[in-house]
Structure 1
Amino acid sequence: MRILFFTPYIGFNYGGIPKAVEELASAIGKLDASVDVVTTDANNLEKISVPLKKWIDKKNYRIIYFPCWNRQDFVISIPLIIWLCQHIHEYDIVHCHTVFAPIVLIVDWMCQYRHIPYVVTPHGMLEPWALSYKARKKQIYYNLLEKAALQNANAIHVIASLEASNVRSLGFQQIVNVPNGIHRQEFEYLPEPEIFYQQFPITRNKSLILFLGRIDPKKGLDLLAPAFAKVHDKFPQTHLVVAGPDNIGFMTTVQRYFRQAQCLDAVSFTGMLTGNLKSAALAAANLYVAPSYSEGFSMSVLEGMASGLPCVITNGCNFPEAAIAQAAYVVDINSDAIADALIHCLSHPQQAKAMGDRAREFIFQNYTWDRSAEKLVQVYQAIISRNSLTEYFAISSNSASNG
């Protein structure tokens, strides 16, 4: 089976989508499938420094980058489109990542014209909050173009049960629910926190609350600022670490949130953390927080839980299974609820640690890339064989509850 992954961008300045694409490609490539990833050199306000228009071998897959013109996440690449016109017929199935992108729409149209089955992963872009952000433009684009492309897709791949419900409410039925995952071995033994303390000495000897994510309006940092101010007033030894890239120049606004809440001095903005430094930050942290208004299915939430951290996440993170398993505090999307949950964790450290231990085991059992890859390959095979997807949806959506 020859599988083409298409994504307009794979630079890590775009957040969790690029990591999900690469991890899925690698995991599926281990399962007797040939996976090619086609993308551009876009990296938000920058470009990725890579060889262009030539295949690069990765672990279990290969990738090719094309030059493009882009403005943040709006990407156009004529060389890429020409290449697809010449080669898309060589694949058994095409898997497109993200929506509301004209270049993805062109790929969808090519698949329809060539009668090649295709799958679309919205990555949370069809969630109510995401649709309401810049709503007028999205409504016009959706009604004129995106809706038909999604209706013609052989499957819409969602990554959370609530996302499945929200996409179904838009009138789509061909939905498969296969969540993101982690590599268990990366979280079984975290490095020493000292690596992080040396890089950010102000965090030493503090109770660290860790936020991992892009500096973006949907991440709820406007809620986290007053929530953390309330926490810091009660627990002066706490320190908030905001770790993530500023893709859209939103940092000045975010810093103003914390300045107005009078707790900016107790916050460290580290920029994006990767590799050992990111793992050391997870090891150094006492709590993890995700105050998001909307997520598809957050990679960083999985990483926080897999690290054994007590986690406070909003119901915008689309992870009710974590609450059912008593593996995280899932709270309403408001600053008081976030603050109260963080204060409860700090006030009851043994109870919080027990929840972190449950979280770690819950993620290890249910949310790994190998499991996700196996389910997606089943979906691809069913589509290519023109079988019903109903049983695959049932397997995928029930995976966490079945353990």
Structure 2
Amino acid sequence: MKILFVAPYISTIYGGTSKIVKELIEGIARLDVSVDLITTNANGTDNLDVPLNKWINQENYRIQYFPCWHQDDFIISYSLVKWLFNNVKKYEIVHTQTVFAPIISIANWICKSSQTPYVVTPHGMLEPWALSYKGWKKKLYYSIIENKLIQKSQAIQTTSSLEFQNINALRFKHSVFVPNGVHRQDFELPAEAEVFYQQFPETKNKTLILFLGRIDPKKGLDLLAPAFAKVHQQFPHTHLVVAGPDNIGFLEKAQNYFLQAGCFDAVTFTGMLNGSLKYAALSATNLYVAPSYSEGFSMSILEGMASGLPCIITTGCNFPEAAAAQAAHVVEISPNAIADSLIECLTEPEQAKAMGDRARDFIFNNYTWDRIAVNLCKVYQAIIDKQPLPQSLETQSNEFIEK
């Protein structure tokens, strides 16, 4: 089996999608599948310092970066498109990442024109909130370009049961549910919290609440600000850590939310946390919060739960399974609902800890990359063999939706 992944970016500054792509490729490659990745050197307002137009060997796959022009998330690469046009027929499956990206739309069109099977992963970009944000532009692009190209794909990988349901409501009938995951070994031993305290000393001896994600309108920081202000008034020892990259210039507006709510002095904006510092932050944290309006399937939520943290997430995070397993508080998308759930956890710490313990077991038992890679390879093989998409993957979604 020979698979090509196409992603507009892979830099960590773009958040969870970049991590998902790399982790999924590594998981598939460990199954003795030949996997290549082509992407660009986009890196927010900068470019990655990487070799261009040549294969770079990783442990068990190859990656090739192409030069590009980019503005925020809008990325164009003539050389990538040219390479794909000349080489696409060498692969049995092309798996494209995200939608509403011209470079991906062109990649899908090349696959369709060359009759090369392709799989599309929207990463939450076809969710109702995401479709309504900057709505008229997306409606126009979707109706003229995106819809037809997605319809012609051989499969749409959805990463949550609700995304599966919402995509089917858009009249796509070839979606499969293959979620994201974590590496169990990354969370089996807690990291040293002191590493985080040394970097951000104002957080030491505080009850820490962690937001881990991009600084972006859909992440709900406008909801979190008044929610945390309410929590901090009742629990003055609490401190909020807002950890994540600002690749669209939204940071100043996000900070103003907390200034207006009157709790800015109890908030630390760390920027992006990677590697040992991110795991140290998870170890130092008491509560995790994801106030999002919309998600595909959040990597940071999986990481918070795998760390054994009591997690408060909104219905927009598309993780009802966590509520069903009593592994997280899944609340309405409102400041009061978020605040009330945080206050409940702070008031009942033993119950909150028990929920965190359930969360850890729930993620380890259901959401690991090794398991997910096997399921995705079943989808690839069915497409190559021109067989129906694996029913077991679709049934998993349908069974949950019917409950």
TM-score grouping bracket, smaller chain normalisation: over 0.9
Which residue number in structure 2 is paired with residue 43 of structure 1? 43
Which residue number in structure 2 is paired with residue 72 of structure 1? 72
Which residue number in structure 2 is paired with residue 281 of structure 1? 281
Which residue number in structure 2 is paired with residue 95 of structure 1? 95
Runs of 4+ in 1 over 2 A off after TM superposition: 392-401
Task: Give me the whole-angstrom Cα distance separating, in 1, the residues matched to 2:23 and 2:258.
Answer: 35
Per-residue Cα deviation, 1:300-330 (whole angstroms, up to 9, x for no partner): 0000000000000000000000000000000
Verify: 1:136 aligned to 2:118, yes or no: no
Residues 379, 390 of structure 2: 8 Å contact kept: no
Which residue number in structure 2 is paired with residue 322 of structure 1? 322
Verify: 1:201 aligned to 2:201, yes or no: yes
Task: Give me the whole-angstrom Cα distance separating, in 2, the residues matched to 1:327 and 1:121.
Answer: 26
TM-score, structure 2 length as denominator? Answer: 0.98
Task: Give me the whole-angstrom Cα distance separating, in 2, the residues matched to 1:259 and 1:32.
Answer: 52
Q: Secondary structure of 2:13's match?
A: helix
Task: Give me the whole-angstrom Cα distance separating, in 1, the residues matched to 2:213 and 2:367.
Answer: 19
Per-residue Cα deviation, 1:79-117 (whole angstroms, up to 9, x for no partner): 111111111110000000000111111111111111111
C-alpha deviation, 1:398, in angstroms: 7.2
Task: Give me the whole-angstrom Cα distance separating, in 2, the residues matched to 1:104 and 1:246.
Answer: 23
Change (3 A) 1:384 1:399: farther
Which residue number in structure 1 is paired with residue 227 of structure 2? 227
C-alpha deviation, 1:191, in angstroms: 1.3
Structure 2: segments with no counterpart, 5+ residues: none
Alpha carbon RMSD of aligned pairs, Å? 1.2
Residues 282, 304 of structure 1: 8 Å contact kept: yes
Moved more, 56-65 or 328-337: 56-65
Task: Give me the whole-angstrom Cα distance separating, in 2, the residues matched to 1:397 and 1:313.
Answer: 20
Which residue number in structure 1 is paired with residue 357 of structure 2? 357
C-alpha deviation, 1:387, in angstroms: 0.4
C-alpha deviation, 1:394, in angstroms: 3.0
Query: Any residues of structure 2 matched to 1:2-401 within 5 Å, and which?
Result: 2-394=2-394, 396-397=396-397
| Paired amino acid for 1:316 | G
Per-residue Cα deviation, 1:366-386 (whole angstroms, up to 9, x for no partner): 001111100000000000100
Residues 366, 399 of structure 1: 8 Å contact kept: no
Task: Give me the whole-angstrom Cα distance separating, in 1, the residues matched to 2:120 and 2:92.
Answer: 15
Task: Give me the whole-angstrom Cα distance separating, in 2, the residues matched to 1:319 and 1:362.
Answer: 12
Residues 220, 293 of structure 1: 8 Å contact kept: yes
Change (3 A) 1:314 1:299: same
Residues 211, 242 of structure 2: 8 Å contact kept: yes
Task: Give me the whole-angstrom Cα distance separating, in 2, the residues matched to 1:251 and 1:111.
Answer: 38
Q: How many pairs were matched up?
A: 401
Per-residue Cα deviation, 1:43-83 (whole angstroms, up to 9, x for no partner): 12111111111111113211000000011111111111111
Q: Secondary structure of 1:188's match?
A: coil
Per-residue Cα deviation, 1:142-174 (whole angstroms, up to 9, x for no partner): 000100001000000000000001000000010
Task: Give me the whole-angstrom Cα distance separating, in 2, the residues matched to 1:99 and 1:132.
Answer: 14
Instruction: Give the percent of matched residue pairs that are identical in Structure 1 and Structure 2.
Output: 63
C-alpha deviation, 1:397, in angstroms: 3.0
Residues 366, 400 of structure 1: 8 Å contact kept: no
Residues 241, 269 of structure 1: 8 Å contact kept: yes
Structure 1: segments with no counterpart, 5+ residues: none
Moved more, 100-109 or 20-29: 100-109
Task: Give me the whole-angstrom Cα distance separating, in 2, the residues matched to 1:185 and 1:326.
Answer: 23
C-alpha deviation, 1:136, in angstroms: 0.1
Task: Give me the whole-angstrom Cα distance separating, in 1, the residues matched to 2:358 and 2:188.
Answer: 14
Per-residue Cα deviation, 1:275-305 (whole angstroms, up to 9, x for no partner): 1100000000000000000000000000000
Residues 232, 263 of structure 2: 8 Å contact kept: yes
Task: Give me the whole-angstrom Cα distance separating, in 2, the residues matched to 1:64 and 1:257.
Answer: 40
| Paired amino acid for 2:195 | I
Q: Secondary structure of 2:271's match?
A: coil
Change (3 A) 1:399 1:65: farther
| Paired amino acid for 2:128 | P
Task: Give me the whole-angstrom Cα distance separating, in 2, the residues matched to 1:102 and 1:195.
Answer: 41
| Paired amino acid for 1:260 | Q
C-alpha deviation, 1:396, in angstroms: 5.0
| Paired amino acid for 1:173 | K
Task: Give me the whole-angstrom Cα distance separating, in 2, the residues matched to 1:361 and 1:398.
Answer: 24
Residues 306, 363 of structure 1: 8 Å contact kept: yes
TM-score, structure 1 length as denominator? Answer: 0.98
C-alpha deviation, 1:400, in angstroms: 9.0
C-alpha deviation, 1:271, in angstroms: 0.3
| Paired amino acid for 1:123 | H
Change (3 A) 1:217 1:79: same
| Paired amino acid for 1:136 | W
